[in-house]
Amino acid sequence: MKKFILICIFSFLAVSTISLSQVKFYAEVSDNTVQLGDRIQVSFVLENARGSKFTPPNFKGFSVLSGPNQSQSTQWINGKVSSSITYSYILSADMSGKFTIQPASITAEGKRLKTQAITVTVVKGSNKPKAKNQGEVNLNSQAEKVVHKNLFLKLFVNKSQAYEGEPIVATYKLYVHPQLQLLNLGQPTMPTFNGFWTQDLGIKKLQFRTESLNGVTYKVADLKKVVLLAQQSGNLEIEPMKIESVVRLQVQGQRRRSRSPFDDPFFNSFFNTNYRDFRFTITSGKSKIHIKPLPGAAPLTFAGAVGNFKLVTTIDKRKAKTGDAITLKVKISGNGNLKLIDALPLDLPPDIDMFDPKISENINVSASGMTGSKTFEYYLIPRNPGQYKIKPVVFTYFDLSERKYKTLTSEEFVLNIEQGSGNASTVVSGVNKKNVKYLGKDIRFIKTGLGSIETVNSRFAWSFLFFGLIILPFIIFFIIFIYAKRREEMKKDIMLMRNRKASSLAKKRLSAAKSYLDKNMEDNFYEEISKVLTGYVADKLSIPTASFTRDAAKLKLIEKNVDEQTIENLLNTIDYCDSVRYAPQQERLSMQEVYNKASMIITKLEGLLR
Amino acid sequence: MRKLFVALFLFLAFFAVHAENIDYKGVFEHANQLYINKDYAGAVKEYQKLIDNDIKSAEIYFNLANAYYRLRKTAEAIYYYEKAKRINPNDEDINFNLNVANLRVIDKFKTVPKFFLTEWYEDLINAFSSDSWALWAIISLWIAMVSIIAFLFVWSPVTKKSLFAMSILMLIVFVFSLVFTYERTKIENTHNDAIIFSSSVYVKSSPETKSTDLFILHIGTKVRVKDKIGEWYEIKLPNGSVGWVPINDLKII
C-alpha cells in the first residue's frame, strides 16, 4: 500500500514538472559545411514532450548510412526537469553543392510540429579543417577499439606440424564479451584451405559457452571446425576467416560530445544512454603449419594412406562356373585418412572379368580424425574354365605412431572354375585377321583313302639302300671310266708300235721294190713304192690306212712342222707312182730315179718325224 | 656285273619287306564307318588301335582329330591335327581343320609374319617328305651319271654338249634334293612342339612350384619346348615369352 502511494506521488510529480517546461522541436546538424564524402549527423530533437508519427524528410543529395537512431535524455537542472528525444541520422555527402535538409514533422500534445530547414554546403575536396567532424571519427575509432577488445575470432590448430595426410583440426572460435550487445552475425567468408583436403565437421547451431581467456570471461562459440589433411609438404598457411557483425553500443549523447570527453560507453550513466549500431568485419588470425613429407623410399604399393589400418578380404565362393559372379570384399578399417583411400588394384588373370568395385563407407569424422571402415566390393566374372589364382591384395600405409610404412597382405584365393552352361570358350576373342575366314566354319570331312603307311623304322631316307643307291652310280661310273681309259691306252700302244715299226717296214718294202727294179717289173715296182710312202706316212702319223687321203696327210704333216718341199716331193712321188700304174706316161723318170727319190724322202721324214 | 645286280636285288628285297601284323586297312575302314554313323567315341577307339600299333599315317591322325573335334575334345583334336600336319605339311584339309579347331583355343598370339623367302624355302622343304626328297636325290644322281657316261662315249659335239648340260643340271638337282632331305629329316626328327592339355596352367619363371607366375596358358595352345629339367619343360610362345610348365600339363607332338 505504501509502495503504491509512493509511485502515485512520484508519477504525479513527474507529469506536473514536464508540463511546466516548453515544448520544442528543432533540427540540428553536426556541421554546415562538409567535404565531399564526409559524414554528417542530422538530429531532430523534441523537447519536453512525447511525440508520435515522426516523419523524416528525404535527404536529397545525401545517402543515409544509419538511422533513425532514437535516444532519450532527462535532466534536472535547478529543480527544473527537461527531457528530450533525439532522432538522429548519419548521412554521407555524395554530391557537392548546396543542399537543404527539409523540415521533419512530429505530432506532440495534439499538435503537428515541424523543424526548421537547414542548409548544408558540400565542398569538393576543400582543405577546410574538419575540427567539428573529428568527434565522429573519434567515435568510430573508439568504438572499434572497444569492439576489438570484446568481440574477436580466433583460429586454433591442434598441431603446429604434421605429416602429409595426418589429420589436423582447425577451429574458428568467436569470443564475445558477455556485456557486448551483438545484434547480428553475417555469413562468414570461408577460407579455401589451399593444399589441404578438408572435411567440415559441420556446426549446425551456434552454441555459446563461457570460457575465460587471460582472466576475462567470454561467451565463446565454435564457428567452424574442419579436419584438414595436407596434400603436399612444406609450410602451409591456414587462411583467416572473416565475418560481418553488427554491434550495438551505448554512446554519450551527441550534444555533449564537445563538453565532456568520452567515458567508457559501457559504464555510462543510465540517464545519458544513447545507442548506436556499428558494423564491423572481424577477422581471425592465420596459422602456419609445417607439413613434413613422408619419409622417402615409400613402397611401390603406397598410395597415400596415413594412419593405422587393418585389412580384411573375403570371397563368397571358391568354386564357380563360367559366367557366375563371385564377390570379393576388401575391407580397410582403422583410423586415418580413410576417405582418401582408393580402391585397391586386384591382380586378376585375364580370364576373369572385373567390374568397378562398389565402395561403401562407414566413416566417423571427429576432431580426432577419421575412424571407421571403407569396403570395396568387387564383382568377378570368370570367362574360362580352369584353376586361377587371385593374387593377394596388398595395402600399404604410413603408420603415424611408428613413423614407418607398413604393408598388409591378404591371403591368396584359388578359384576352381568349371565350364558353365553358357559356352564361354566359343566366344571368340582376339581372332587375328588370318583366322577370321574360319569363323563359323565346320571342319572338313574325314579322309576315306589311306595314303602311304609308314611303320616306325621303315624310313628310306638315310637308310642303307639310300646310301647304296647314291654310292652305286659312282662305282659304276668309276668302273666304266677305268675300262674306257684302258681301251684308250691300248689304242695308243698300237699307234706307238706302228710308229716304231714304220721305218723297218719301209726298209723291207724298199728292198722289195729294189728286187722289182732289178727284175724290171715296172708295175710291181711302182705299186710297192706307193705303198712304202703311204704306209710309212700313215703309220708315222697314226692315221688308219683305210682313211688315208692326200689332204689329211698334208694337214698332219704341216702340223708336224714338215717343210713344204718335202711334202710336195712326197705327194708328187705318190701321185707319180699312181699315175704311172694307171695311165701311159709321156715323160718318164727312170725306176732308179724314183727309187732314189723315195728312199731320200723316207730318210728325210725319218729325221723330221720322231 | 651280274654279281652286282644280284647284290642290289637282295639289298632292295631286304628293305621292301614291311611288317604287317594287323589288317590296318580293315580297321581304318571300320573306324571311318563309325565316324559316318556319328559314333565318334567308337571311331576314336578304332583309330587309336592303329596308332598303338605304330602305324604312322596322316590320314589316320586327321580322322582321329576330326572325331576328337566332334567330341569337343579340343586339345586332343589339335594334337592329332598337328601330328598329321607333321607328315603332310601342305595338305589343305589338315590345315583347314586345324585352323577351325584353333578357334576353340583361348590363347591367341600375334605371330610375326616370316620373310617371304624363308616361307618359300620352308614350303619347298615341306612339299615332300624326307623319303620323297631322298628318292628325288637318287633319281637325279642316276640321270646325271648316265649322262656323264654317255658323254664320254659319244663323238657328236651337239649330243655331247646337251649331255653335259643335262648332267650338270641333274647334279644340281641332286645336291639340292640331298640338302632338302637333310632339312626335312631334321624337321621330322625334332619333336619340340607341344600342346597344353590342362584347362589352365600357370607358366612359372623357373622350374619350381614356388616361383613367380608369369602368365596363364589354356587348353589347346601350341608351344615350343626348349628344354627339360626334372619334371618341368621350358617353353616358348609365338610372341617370344618364355617360362616353365610341369611336364604333365603338356603333350609333345
What pLDDT score does B173 carry? 95
Asked if B38 reaches chain A (Cβ–Cβ under 8 Å), the answer is no
A221, A173 contact by CB (below 8 A):
yes
Picking from A429, A455, A470, the nearest residue to B54 by CB comes out as A455
Q: Would the pLDDT of A112 be above 50?
A: yes
Nearest-angstrom CA–CA distance, A370 and B109:
49
Asked if A389 reaches chain B (Cβ–Cβ under 8 Å), the answer is yes
CA Rg, chain A, in Å? 71
Would you mind telling me the total number of residues written for chain A in this entry? 610
CATH code of the domain covering residue B244: 2.30.30.40
CATH topology of domain A302-420: Jelly Rolls (2.60.120)
Closest alpha carbon to A102 in A46, A56, A45: A56
A243, A210 contact by CB (below 8 A):
no
Amino acid in the structure at residue A93: A
Which residues of B are less than 8 Å from A442 in CB distance?
100
Query: How far does A451 lie from chain B, in Å, by closest CA?
Result: 7
What pLDDT score does B136 carry? 93
Domain boundaries, chain A: 18-128, 143-290, 302-420, 489-608
Nearest-angstrom CA–CA distance, B110 and A542:
79
What pLDDT score does A15 carry? 46
Which residues of B are less than 8 Å from A432 in CB distance?
108, 110-111
A residues 167-186 near B, CB within 8 Å? none
CB contact under 8 A, A438 and B185: no
Whether B94 and B152 map to the same domain: the answer is no
Q: How confident is the model at residue B143 (pLDDT cuts 50, 70, 90)?
A: very high
Q: Could you give the number of structural domains in chain B? A: 3
Does residue B228 sit within a domain? yes
∠ at Cα A364 (A360, A368), nearest 5°? 140
Whether B207 and B140 map to the same domain: the answer is no
Q: Would the pLDDT of A512 be above 50?
A: yes
CB contact under 8 A, A468 and B11: yes
Asked if B56 reaches chain A (Cβ–Cβ under 8 Å), the answer is yes
Write down which residue in B102, B129, B163 finishes a domain. Answer: B102
Stated pTM of the model: 0.55
Closest chain B residue to the Cα of A419, Cα to Cα: B199
Does residue B27 sit within a domain? yes
CB contact under 8 A, B145 and A453: no
Give mean pLDDT, residues A108-126.
79
Q: Which secondary-structure segment (H or E) carries A475?
A: helix A464-518
Write down which residue in B102, B127, B151 finishes a domain. Answer: B102
CB contact under 8 A, B145 and A438: no
Q: Would the pLDDT of A46 be above 80?
A: yes
Asked if A478 reaches chain B (Cβ–Cβ under 8 Å), the answer is no
Query: How far does B144 lie from chain A, in Å, by closest CA?
Result: 9
pLDDT digits (tens, 9 = 90+) for A154-189: 888 888 888 888 888 888 888 888 888 787 787 778
Closest chain B residue to the Cα of A435, Cα to Cα: B99
What pLDDT score does A435 carry? 63
Lowest average pLDDT, out of A166-175, A372-381, B21-30, goes to B21-30
Give mean pLDDT, residues A501-517.
81
pLDDT digits (tens, 9 = 90+) for A4-14: 555 555 554 44
pLDDT digits (tens, 9 = 90+) for A192-249: 888 888 888 877 777 888 888 877 888 888 888 888 888 888 888 888 888 888 888 7
Does residue B46 sit within a domain? yes
Does residue B154 sit within a domain? yes
Write down which residue in B52, B73, B102 finishes a domain. Answer: B102
Picking from B19, B56, B97, the nearest residue to A443 by CB comes out as B97
Asked if A385 reaches chain B (Cβ–Cβ under 8 Å), the answer is yes
A residues 315-354 near B, CB within 8 Å? 349-351
Closest chain B residue to the Cα of A438, Cα to Cα: B100
pLDDT digits (tens, 9 = 90+) for A420-461: 775 544 444 555 555 667 777 788 888 888 877 766 566 788
pLDDT digits (tens, 9 = 90+) for A468-491: 999 998 899 889 889 888 988 888
Asked if A433 reaches chain B (Cβ–Cβ under 8 Å), the answer is no
What pLDDT score does A256 carry? 43
Lowest average pLDDT, out of A416-425, B41-50, B148-157, goes to A416-425
Does residue B9 sit within a domain? no
Whether B22 and B85 map to the same domain: the answer is yes
Query: How far does B228 lie from chain A, in Å, by closest CA?
Result: 24
Picking from B19, B145, B202, the nearest residue to A477 by CB comes out as B145
CATH topology of domain A489-608: Four Helix Bundle (Hemerythrin (Met), subunit A) (1.20.120)
Whether B133 and B66 map to the same domain: the answer is no
Report the complex ipTM.
0.76
Contacts of A300 by beta carbon, 8 Å cutoff, 6+ apart: none
CATH code of the domain covering residue B36: 1.25.40.10
What pLDDT score does A17 carry? 45
CB contact under 8 A, B218 and A454: no
Closest alpha carbon to A418 in B199, B84, B112: B199
Nearest-angstrom CA–CA distance, A271 and A75:
8
CATH topology of domain A18-128: Immunoglobulin-like (2.60.40)
- Domain ranges, residue B26: 18-102
